[in-house]
Structure 1
Amino acid sequence: MSSTRRAGRTVRAAVGASALTLALLATSACGPDNSPDATAATGAAKNGVDLGLPANLADLKKWSFEDWEKWANDYALPAVAKGYWTLEKILDAKPDDPVLPPAPQPTGQPNTQAPAPQPTTTKAPAPQPTGQPNTQAPAPQPTTTKAPAPQPTATQNQPTQPPAPKPTPTQAQPTQAPPTQAPAPQPTPTQAPPTQAPNDNGNDPLPNTINAQPVPHPYAKNMAVNGKILYSNPGEAKPQNGEPYTHSCSGTVVVDPAHPGKSNLVWTAGHCVHQGKGGTYYSNITFFPGFNTSGAFSNGKNADVSQTAPYGMWDAVNYVTSPTWKVDGGAHEATKASQDDFAIIRVKPENDTGKSLEETVGGALPLWFNAPRDQLILSAHGYPSNPPFDGREMEQCDGGKPTRWSMDPARPPMLVIGCTMTGGSSGGGWTVVKDGKPTLVSNVSLVSYAQTGSKFSMGPYLDDVAASAYNFISKKG
């Protein structure tokens, strides 16, 4: 696809997003705990009602291993044909990410900073954060004399290092030096009590834009935990209107509590694995750790496939997503389920060397669930593919302290950082330094990279539901 055509697609997507109307999530069906029919856990629709979720979404935090096993009945993925990913397919792969609706405005919260400049537009009013259609004229914009919304009270231990100072609005944060060693495996995370919902609509002013910076070649050894994920349409479906049928995302190697030191788990976005509501899982899902480490694939050069995958190609064999993503996620439009847009995949090497993924790349990241928002200083990594990026380079955003964004105040608001990364960075890991080590706290779910206005990325807040899914796939093996 030419750059002109891709740019046109970006503009069309932005226009389409402005008219997005969000429907309320149907939550009246029984979940695995109280459903006599295990087939109700597939997320299929019956009489217009989505099945598979408990009546109260908070009950997802109480799911046992058996509940997850009954619900995740399509846990196993079809085998990826050896040699499927040729250079041509890799080059053709393009992002297939949900379109981000306009960010809702904060309501009634003080703001001491000037808001990010808004593009001149004739778009329809943004949807209200309660998920209801908007029948009234848009509310006036908040004044610039108000202060940011208070952050929720932290419920976990504080990091061992104090947060770095926030940069001034006119300067980007300097790129932080990566740690010199890969992180050691961590035990199963201790979960804190669920973070309380904010007493407002869960939205803050948008953060200042931070420019993504390319990670220098050759990538440091500890950068190999970051990689590129490629996948194809389900069942090799033929592309529509000339669109590609191979797609790209990003992912991160994470520790496996059930297999310490020998993890084969990769954290990514739910929409990089499963289509969401009414859909199914993608085909030929493959992880390329440390993609293009040497730079042999940079600047338009066509390298051998083995040079793009210095640590081999790792095919997904099973997976789990958040239940709300599979039941109500939007493959092409952001929905409330974007607040739960995460997935974990288990992989195996295309060419087995007897070593796990963690052993092969030299490390894996621990996770921090229910992390106190006011203690987070975030760094993001990914392989953005939409212009001005080409998907061949690992990029990094030192996004600083996140703000909040929500389409459904009943769910934990998403984390938001200023970042110029585009589509293809979805699924890429967001990390903080905890106990002196990089620790994963979220992943890219949605990005906004319009030519004017703020550029930012959004990631789900990983709470007890995410921890439960993670522990399930670890124990499932």
Structure 2
Amino acid sequence: MSSSVRSAGRSAVRAVRSARTVRTALGASVLALALLGTSACGPDNEGSADAAAAAAAPNLGLPANLDDLKKWKFEDWEKWAKDYALPAASKGFWTLEKLLQAKPDEPIAPPAAPAEPSQPGQPSAQPSQPGKPSAPAPATTAPGAKPPAGQPTTPAAPKPSNTQQPASQAPAPPESQPPAQPTQPPAAQPSQPGQPPAQPAQPGDNGNDPLPKTVNAQPVQHPYTKFAVHGKLFADAPGAGAGAAGGLNHNQCSATVVADPAHPGKSNLVWTAGHCVHQGKGGSFYSNITFIPAFNSNAALSGGKQADESQYAPYGIWPGTQAVTSPQWKAEGGKTGDAATHYDFAIIRVKPADNGKSLEETVGGALPVWFNAPRDQLSISEFGFPAAPPYDGMELNHCESGKPTRLSFDPSRPPMLAIGCTMTAGSSGGGWLAVKDGKPVLVSNVSVGKHTGDPKFQAGPYLDDVAAGAYDFLSKKG
């Protein structure tokens, strides 16, 4: 073979190798671009680093980065919240017997109460578990506090129905009455650009303040005309067998009518706790979710009396048709206070009345929701229907708890709001109100509760951009 032929052959080989190198480099570049594309935030990026990190719920596509979740748009929530539509409870499903059978849903118990921060010059208290608060220092009930108002825990024998307030249900003293709420509150006020973000935990305290002092709940005086936005929420937990057949899966919580930005003046939205409507990690939404505003407003069931639906449900019975809770609660939620309780909230849409009127039009108002509210501007009034002793679930109660403290189970998430309040099981999901521009607004709901020993307190999620995104999504879906 001539030298010219061998030289040509070597040139051809080099050309082939060069082409292969170019193709390899191009392929690597395309792969790198593809990987960059799949790592962008969003709920359906199952191959992304965020989704892979969300090992607790790989199918939910929960971003590992909380800041990414705060940036979700309506389309992201649409892709993620695929189970928001609920079958409505059939008309007449919630009979009085079932309502009275319903177990009060217990606020989530904290694994340990937080230690009070050390005094200046002393070492900071160390948490008992990573990210968890340590055991509390001894505390006492607020000086001069009165015991909870006496309320029956065992219904008496049925008596003829009437609408007068029973003698055993003494009205709260004038100074303990909750602030008046307008019958037609203003439209919802979503968080504004430039609003102060959630305050981070201070260095060394893990996001925990001293525990709030006990505040004794007081009954709201009948009728609840000015407080018809507050009501009881009933639902059936998933289950089967003898327990479910015996009605042992019926549950009750508390909830509040909130404004609907997409339908001003005609809201059908209700705010409650995530654990009142969804099982949390590995679970599903409850069934037959139903809201009864101003439950027992005229004291028709107080003192063990029996009554017709029109008496104990003066504004009707409203079945839920849609619901959304936080991705954190669905992916991580459980029975003990932990990082998931920082986002333990839910919004429900109920079916309009048969006459076409909305829930807001029927009860006479709906509360705006204040997202990213500055903590130092809050003074909390809590409302709910506690149903475990010494309460019986028949009375709307309130706690005038003042400025909330911080409670944290995960320093990487906004600390929860904590207040002193003696309400028990059944108050879960009850609305926490503050005042903005002279008018009442909703700022949180009952999630965590400690009802034994002292101090007795409850905690609710700090409603940040994640809550605002869920709220905006369900508002626009209606």
Give TM-score, length-normalised by structure 2. 0.77
Residues 436 and 278 of structure 1: is their aligned pair in 2 closer, same or farther, counting only changes over 3 Å? Answer: same
1:91 to 89, 94, 100: 100
1:202 to 207, 228, 239: 207
2:116 to 93, 106, 118: 106
Gaps of 5+ in 2: 1-37, 147-172
| Equivalence for 1:403 | 405
Cα distance in 1 for partners of 2:437, 2:387 equals: 33
| Equivalence for 1:253 | 257
Check whether the contact 2:178–2:400 (CA below 8 A) recurs between aligned residues: no
Q: Larger C-alpha radius of gyration, 1 or 2? A: 2
Cα distance in 2 for partners of 1:313, 1:41 equals: 42
Cα distance in 2 for partners of 1:202, 1:142 equals: 16
SS in 1 for 2:118: coil
Cα distance in 1 for partners of 2:56, 2:198 equals: 34
Letter of the 1:328 partner, please give it: E
| Equivalence for 2:33 | none
Cα distance in 2 for partners of 1:359, 1:232 equals: 27
Check whether the contact 2:380–2:404 (CA below 8 A) recurs between aligned residues: yes
* 2:84 pairs with 1:75: yes
Shift of 1:59: 1.3
Q: Which moved more, 1:198-207 or 1:437-446?
A: 198-207
| Equivalence for 2:337 | 334
Letter of the 2:94 partner, please give it: W
Letter of the 1:417 partner, please give it: I
- Residue deviations 1:33-58 (CA, integer Å, cap 9, x gap): 163459x9999x97986743112122
Check whether the contact 2:178–2:381 (CA below 8 A) recurs between aligned residues: no
- Residue deviations 1:166-221 (CA, integer Å, cap 9, x gap): x97444794144326324232442332422312230111111111100011112x2
Residues 47 and 318 of structure 1: is their aligned pair in 2 closer, same or farther, counting only changes over 3 Å? Answer: closer
Q: Percent identity?
A: 59
- Residue deviations 1:97-156 (CA, integer Å, cap 9, x gap): 333322121343559xxxxxxxxxxxxx98435159xxxxx78x7799xxxxxxxxxxxx
| Equivalence for 1:312 | 316
1:444 to 439, 443, 446: 446
Gaps of 5+ in 1: 1-28, 112-124, 133-137, 145-166
| Equivalence for 2:454 | 453
Cα distance in 1 for partners of 2:130, 2:227 equals: 37
Count matched residues: 403
Cα distance in 1 for partners of 2:183, 2:440 equals: 9
Q: Which moved more, 1:280-289 or 1:452-461?
A: 452-461
Letter of the 2:262 partner, please give it: A
Q: Which moved more, 1:233-242 or 1:209-218?
A: 233-242
Residues 243 and 209 of structure 1: is their aligned pair in 2 closer, same or farther, counting only changes over 3 Å? Answer: farther
Check whether the contact 1:183–1:438 (CA below 8 A) recurs between aligned residues: no
Give TM-score, length-normalised by structure 1. 0.77
Cα distance in 1 for partners of 2:426, 2:375 equals: 25
Cα distance in 1 for partners of 2:421, 2:89 equals: 33
Residues 298 and 405 of structure 1: is their aligned pair in 2 closer, same or farther, counting only changes over 3 Å? Answer: same
Check whether the contact 2:51–2:62 (CA below 8 A) recurs between aligned residues: no
- Residue deviations 1:419-443 (CA, integer Å, cap 9, x gap): 0000110111000121121111000
Cα distance in 2 for partners of 1:369, 1:177 equals: 22
| Equivalence for 2:75 | 66
Alpha-carbon RMSD across the aligned residues, in angstroms, is 3.2
Higher share in helix: 2
Check whether the contact 2:238–2:249 (CA below 8 A) recurs between aligned residues: no
* 2:376 pairs with 1:374: yes
Check whether the contact 2:51–2:58 (CA below 8 A) recurs between aligned residues: no
